[in-house]
């Protein structure tokens, strides 16, 4: 059930936010506010700090998305290392490049990499699904943190907000709050050009030194089962969704 917090400041009826911390400032920081949402979703008023608050960052860290990325990346690399008899460093790089290619980063695969991609396609999809679920949890947590720490200052109900309540918000309102919080993570800066960012990600991965494929057949099935992943530059910031291929909409990473 949505608490009264969700309708705290809707239809343009905004409430004043006081300073976020009761410190004995000589000069108190100016607290700006921003209206989030529209007439269809309802309008909320959030204080603007051009950064995350400490409590918001701690809530995101509880999800620990990056550790999941590293763990899954290692699992995929170990499969490649064992089956293709590659050095560990090369296996890790190939795994990262395959996952980057899968999620829409314009990595040009070497022939050997493409053969591995076809062989391990089921495993790669499982990894992607696993990371997507973890990423969704991060989005939910960031929106929950914003409501608790920013709206909770003016309404006690908001201070007790939960992830389950965030999941009950309309998609439009949740996305509006999430977009606002991404801007806060960037310090208020405009987002980078998505295409340029993807090109930089692709270039940053580098290329492995691989032998040409020897004509091994592509079975179309994975040699292992279970979720796995590879890290990409897009996942270095907590709360950030991965860039997606045409199958899914591209979302901007959060830091």
For every one of its 255 residues, what pLDDT tens digit does the chain have, with 9 covering 90 and above? 445 575 444 443 444 455 456 789 898 888 899 999 999 999 999 999 999 999 999 999 999 888 888 888 899 999 999 999 999 999 999 999 999 999 889 999 999 999 999 999 999 999 999 999 999 999 999 999 999 999 998 899 999 999 999 999 999 999 999 999 999 999 999 888 888 888 888 888 888 888 766 555 433 333 333 333 344 333 434 444 444 444 443 344 444
Taking the alpha carbons at both ends of the chain, their separation in whole angstroms is: 30
Neighbours of 120 (CB within 10 A): 26
Please state the separation of Cα 202 from the chain's center in Å: 18
pLDDT at 199: 87
The residue assigned the tokens 């270039």 is: 203
What lies within 8 Å, CB to CB, of 134 at 6+ separation is: 63, 65, 68
Query: What is the distance between the alpha carbons of residues 120 and 81, in angstroms, rounded to a whole number?
Result: 13
Strand segments (E) across 24-135:
32-38, 42-48
Neighbours of 190 (CB within 10 A): 7
What is the DSSP code (8-state) at residue 4? G
CB-CB contact of 85 with 78 (8 Å): no
Task: Give the closest residue to 228 by CA, choosing from 138, 140, 121.
Answer: 121
pTM check: above 0.85: no
What is the DSSP code (8-state) at residue 103? T
């Amino acid at each position: 059930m949505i608490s009264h917090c969700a309708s705290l400041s809707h239809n343009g009826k905004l409430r004043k936010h006081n300073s976020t911390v009761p410190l004995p400032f000589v000069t108190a920081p100016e607290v700006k506010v921003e209206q989030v949402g529209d007439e269809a979703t309802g309008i909320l008023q959030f204080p603007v700090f051009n950064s995350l608050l400490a409590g918001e960052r701690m809530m995101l860290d509880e999800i620990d998305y990056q550790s999941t990325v590293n763990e899954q990346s290692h699992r995929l690399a170990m499969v490649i290392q064992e089956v293709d008899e590659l050095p560990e460093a090369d296996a890790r790089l190939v795994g990262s490049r395959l996952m980057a290619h899968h999620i829409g980063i314009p990595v040009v695969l070497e022939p050997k990499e493409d053969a591995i991609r076809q062989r391990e396609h089921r495993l790669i999809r499982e990894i992607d699904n696993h990371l997507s679920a973890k990423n969704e949890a991060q989005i939910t947590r960031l929106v929950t943190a914003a409501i608790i720490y920013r709206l909770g200052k003016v309404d006690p109900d908001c201070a007790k907000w939960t992830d389950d309540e965030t999941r009950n918000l309309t998609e439009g309102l949740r996305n509006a709050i999430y977009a606002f919080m991404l801007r806060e993570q960037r310090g208020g800066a405009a987002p980078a050009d998505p295409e340029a960012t993807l090109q930089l990600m692709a270039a940053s991965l580098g290329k492995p030194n691989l032998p040409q494929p020897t004509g091994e057949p592509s079975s179309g099935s994975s040699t292992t089962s279970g979720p796995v992943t590879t890290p990409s530059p897009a996942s270095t910031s907590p709360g950030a969704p991965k860039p997606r291929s045409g199958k899914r909409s591209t979302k901007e990473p959060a830091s």
